[in-house]
Amino acid sequence: MSFLIRQISRTSDGREIIRAYPHDVREIIIGREASCEIHLADLAVELRHARLTLQANGKLDVVALAGNGFEVDGSKTSQAVIDPAGGSELRFGSHLLVISVDDGVVVITAERIEVLSDSTQEKDEIGLFTLRSIMPSRRLMAWALSIIILLALLVWPIHTFYNYQNAEKRPAAFHADSLWSSGSLSSPHAGLGMDCQSCHTEAFVAVSDSSCVSCHEDVHDHADPKRLKLAKAPLNWDGKISRKIAETFSRPEGRCVECHTEHEGAGPMEDTKQQFCSSCHTDMNKRLTDTKIANAGDFGTAHPQFKPEVITANGSPPKRERISLDQKPLEDSGLKFPHDVHLSRTNGVARMGQQFGFGQALDCKDCHIKTPDGVQFQAIDMEQSCAMCHSLGIEKIGDTVRTLRHGDPKMVVADLRAFYRAGGPYRVRTRQVMEGRKRPGSYARSQPYYAYFGSVNYSRADSAIRSVFSKGGACYDCHTVITPPAGSDNWQVQKVHQTSRFMMKGWFDHAAHDTETCSSCHAAKKSGNASELLLPGIKTCRTCHGGEASNADVPSSCAMCHSFHADDGAPWVPKFDMTRKRDLSKARVENIKVRT
């Protein structure tokens, strides 16, 4: 007997069954074929896989008979010589062959050490039929997600806040607390987007006005805070709830941010709504009984007539009063000027205008020149706008016309006296002065205009002086002259005050009304007297403008004309130059001061 083959198999309950087959040969075949001495029912084993030959020296020669080799003590080979006495392990497919010697007989124990198929091995059936085997556990995911979110969106931003709390300025970079921003800042504040602490200076404390005024230094209160409080309409139910909640959560009343809300999205800051004004002003006289301000709730339906500030008495300084346009106020500017004559298309003025190249007739813009911003008009300048026709020339010396000095009556007197003192050829000179072209009717080509004197005794300076200041004279036509007592030369002309802004409580921007002609609002062509205010009334404005919620061509909230923080400038409207760079770091520095 040379070989003893022991084949081990197992019952379903795991019990071992050992079958032993002795073979008295020197050569045995290992394979899947049933005729093999060592028959391995293993699909990874060839039908005739290997041959074992017992050599004379007692060693075993193992040779693979087909392409697939085998393993000897864990290493793959196709041929091996082994010493059975030393023991060895051969691996064929899923089977392990343990070789040993017992009483001179080579004992080969064959056993399947791997399962027959994937499905026959022990499996967690519940695991297979649920997602537990292929998904991370829900508990793990819940913990992981929660921790990630809390770290990234709570711990990190809070760390950022305390990290920079005493810093002058945050470096320009991403800062985690910006993940808390509920919406983009308005364009003027866009530069503060990554620096939450420029406004949110303290944790759990509402944004205070000190943050705002650190940059907006010039902003002042709308009115005396006490009167402001009195004027406020009683809160309705939701306002009361809102107030109560705000008080409970320590949000003080009347802060800038109540009206100037932020984080409402990029773009211009939110326009202040009409209701913000009308809640007090609609019936303010009920609560603020001594107020001089008329009630106003809506431009289209509840707004008083305009009250321009007009000069009621021309003095020094002039007396100005706000009078409703309904009372047809007259302005005592000190100037005599008939608009109708100057704008006529048929009279001598038109004729003179034509000769000077002004077209068919004079137009408003020929005298009224806009300010550079287009909002208002520059004051009329006599030399520039009037003197071309209303000449003060008295004498021509060579090519130069000598003129009386405008605005200086004493110099006029002195110049005229000097003129007469200069002497002859007296007749020629006075004729030139007194008989030159005076008015548009007496136009003569290529001759300059001269100041006119009316009726005059040409031989005497006194007479000429009196004439120029009296009716028919050059000064008198436009100005109010204060006549001196007889024998005195102290002629005086009342000062002219030109008003550049009549609507002192509101704001009117001519540039915004470019689409209109002057005459669509100002009835200058029918005005024969400079004291007539040519301002349009509210009715004219209402042809285009209505209240905020109206169907008018231009729905207009109060803020279009009125400024809450009123000053001499234009009211705040959301169209100021958003691109201009401001030194926003200043805000930080100021805030640090406030904090410490």
Minimum distance between the CB of residue 210 and another protein, rounded to whole angstroms?
Answer: 15
The binder of another protein chosen from 249, 421, 423, 581 (CB under 8 A): 249
**Least distance to another protein, CB of residue 241, Å:** 6
Instruction: Give the nearer residue to another protein in terms of CB position, either 141 or 589.
Output: 141
Q: Where are any strands of DSSP class E within 306-433?
A: 309-313, 319-322, 393-397, 400-403
Asked if 238 touches another protein (CB under 8 A), the answer is: yes
- Alpha carbon 26 to its chain centroid, in Å, reads 100
Burial of 320 (0-12, 13-18, 19+ CB in 10 A): middle
Q: Rule CB under 8 A: choose which of 20, 113, 167, 245 binds another protein.
A: 245
- Residue 431 makes contact with another protein by CB under 8 A: no
For residues 3 and 22, is the Cβ–Cβ distance under 8 A? Answer: yes
Residue of the chain from 161, 299, 306, 508 that contacts another protein (CB under 8 A) = 161
Q: Does 163 bind another protein (CB under 8 A)?
A: no
Q: Which is nearer to another protein, 24 or 249 (CB)?
A: 249
Closer to another protein by Cβ: residue 195 or 532: 195
Task: Classify the C-alpha dihedral 101-102-103-107 as positive or negative.
Answer: negative
Q: Under DSSP, is residue 496 helix (H, G, I), strand (E, B) or coil?
A: coil
130 in contact with another protein (CB under 8 A) = yes
Tell me how far apart the alpha carbons of residues 295 and 503 are, in angstroms, rounded to a whole number.
17
Q: Which of residues 67-106 bind another protein (CB under 8 A)?
A: 67-68
- Considering only 75, 119, 289, 551, the residue that binds another protein (CB under 8 A) is 119
242 binds another protein (CB under 8 A): yes
Q: Residue 65 interacts with another protein (CB under 8 A)?
A: no
Q: Of residues 13, 102, 103, 125, which one binds another protein by CB under 8 A?
A: 125
Residue 247 backbone zone (phi > 0: left; psi -120 to 50: alpha; other: beta): alpha
For another protein, the binding residue among 12, 57, 75, 120 (CB under 8 A) is 120
CB 39, min distance to another protein, A: 9
Q: Which is nearer to another protein, 250 or 515 (CB)?
A: 250
**Judged by CB under 8 A, which stretch of 261-269, 367-375, 397-405, 407-415 contacts another protein?**
261-269
Q: How far is the CB of 330 from another protein (least distance, A)?
A: 43
Q: How far is CA 455 from CA 417, 472, 479, in A?
A: 18, 8, 18
Interacting residue with another protein among 18, 20, 205, 411 (CB under 8 A): 205
**Binding pattern for the stretch 18-37 against another protein, x by CB under 8 A and - elsewhere:** --------------xxx---
Does residue number 275 form part of the binding site for another protein (CB under 8 A)? yes
Distance in angstroms (rounded) separating the CA atoms of residues 587 and 162: 19
* Burial class, 511, CB count within 10 angstroms (exposed 0-12 / middle 13-18 / buried 19+): exposed
Shortest distance, position 65 Cβ to another protein, whole Å: 11
Select from 16, 48, 179 the least CA-distant residue to 112. Answer: 16
d(Cα 533, Cα 548) in Å, to the nearest integer?
A: 29
Interacting residue with another protein among 20, 81, 113, 142 (CB under 8 A): 142
Cα–Cα distances in Å, from 591 out to 52, 79, 210? 94, 88, 8
Among positions 273, 336, 437, 542, the unique one binding another protein when judged by CB under 8 A: 273
Contact with another protein (CB under 8 A) among 65, 107, 158, 293 = 158
Rounded to a whole number, what is the distance in angstroms from the first to the last CA of the chain?
A: 104
Length reported for the chain: 596
Listed residue (72, 21, 26, 88) closest to 51, CA to CA: 26
Q: Phi and psi at residue 511, in whole multiples of 5°?
A: -60, -35
Quote the CA–CA distance of 71 and 376 in Å, as a whole number: 105
Residue closer to another protein, measured from CB, 183 or 315: 183
Cα dihedral across residues 378, 383, 385, 390: positive or negative: positive
Distance of CA 384 to the CA centre of its chain: 43
**Residue 254 sits in the site that holds another protein (CB under 8 A):** no
Q: For another protein, which is the closer residue by CB, 250 or 551?
A: 250
Candidates 129-137, 411-419, 454-462, 475-483: pick the segment binding another protein (CB under 8 A). 129-137
CA angle 412, 414, 418 (to 5 degrees): 115
Instruction: State yes or no: cis peptide before 318, omega within 30 of 0.
Output: no
Structure tokens, 165: 């709390």
Q: Can you tell me which of 1, 20, 25, 43 binds another protein, judged by CB under 8 A?
A: 43
**Pair 39, 60: CB distance under 8 Å:** no
- Report the SS3 class of residue 23: strand
Does 46 engage in binding with another protein (CB under 8 A)? yes
Q: Which of 5, 170, 177, 527 binds another protein (CB under 8 A)?
A: 177
Question: Measured between alpha carbons, how far is 169 from 191 in angstroms, rounded to an integer?
Answer: 12
User: Is residue 340 within 8 Å of residue 346, measured between CB atoms?
Assistant: no
554 binds another protein (CB under 8 A): no
Considering the complex, what minimum distance in angstroms separates the CB of residue 17 from another protein?
A: 17
Does residue 564 interact with another protein by CB under 8 A? Answer: no
CB of 94 to another protein, least distance (A): 9
Closer residue to another protein in complex, CB, 81/150 = 150
DSSP string over 53-96: EE-TTS-EEEEE-SS--EEETTEEESEEEE-GGG-EEEEETTEE
141 in contact with another protein (CB under 8 A) = yes
Q: Where are the alpha helices (DSSP H) in 233-373?
A: 237-248, 256-259, 274-281, 284-287, 339-343, 348-355, 364-367
Binding flag, residue 147, another protein (CB under 8 A): yes
| By the rule CB under 8 A, 181 interacts with another protein | yes
Task: Mark 183-202 with x for binding to another protein (rule: CB under 8 A) and - for no binding.
Answer: xx-----------x---x--
Out of 17, 56, 134, 173, the only residue in the binding site for another protein (CB under 8 A) is 134
Q: Among residues 63, 98, 153, 293, which is the contact residue for another protein, using CB under 8 A?
A: 153
**Among 44-52, 79-87, 345-353, 504-512, which window interacts with another protein (CB under 8 A)?**
44-52
Contact footprint for another protein (CB under 8 A): 32-34, 41, 43-44, 46-47, 66-68, 116-120, 123, 125, 128-131, 134-135, 138, 141-147, 149-150, 153-154, 157-158, 161, 177, 179-184, 196, 200, 203-207, 238, 241-242, 245-246, 249-251, 261, 264-265, 270-271, 273, 275-276
